[in-house]
Structure 1
Amino acid sequence: MKNILKIMISGALCLSLASCSDFLDRPVLGQENLDTYFQTEEECLKQVAGCYQALFFEDWWQIQAPYVGFDMATDDLWMGNTTQSQSDWMRMAHYGNPKADGPLSNFWQYRYKGILRCNIVINNVPDAPIV
């Protein structure tokens, strides 16, 4: 019994020491690398277009929804449409705290993602090797 245990432990040690180190050092496929991305004018223009895309992250309703929502938080506007479920907007209209994963948090989340994209452009495009 002791011999079997010793053999199993020594076998496990041998297998763990004989692992492949290059398995962990493989390049990431399917993702862009910021160190090598800004090499052509097309790549720079794509990143700038991504900055504008962050302004309007969904359909046309997202352009007006935040402004309507912010007006609902004042006495200028009242939330209508009580026949459908608009629970996030209704809580805001009644001065409540909407849940964190609703459309109001998405508004700020996408705005800050847009700021991140703009900062990436500002930091990398001036150093790009384009004419």
Structure 2
Amino acid sequence: MKNFKILVFGTFAAIFFNGCDVTPPFQVVQLQENARGITVARSTPYNCTVLGEVEGRSENNGYGANLQLMRDSAVNDAKNNAAYVIGEGKRAMINIVSEKAVCLLNGQRVDCSGNVIGYVQSYRINAQVFDCGIK
């Protein structure tokens, strides 16, 4: 009987403590409807006007993220932010001017833009926004 009580107590303790450490999966920033037409240029586009810069960010507070997912999420965030700058009914582009990934390695935040060395914690993109005329 004593072993049975220990088994029951141990089972409940395991369920309780495992339930407290629930880490959500990484969620990619979703592209908003008004940002779907914004493209990424590899250089300064011709016949377009620079409107300014935007930042795209992606923070990892869960599991299942890798460098490419974090970058895609940051690009989506930059496009969403650019959509507010550009407004409705215009052709637009962004040109990424800088990127930086930050990893957590042995409790220290380190730049891991070139390769992943630890837990990918955040990704930031700075991009120029271009107005390329009316659609």
For the criterion TM > 0.5, the same-fold answer is: no
**TM-score normalized with structure 2 length:** 0.25
Of Structure 1 and Structure 2, which has the larger fraction of its residues in strand?
2
**TM-score normalized with structure 1 length:** 0.25
Please say which structure displays the higher CA radius of gyration.
1
Of Structure 1 and Structure 2, which has the larger fraction of its residues in helix?
1
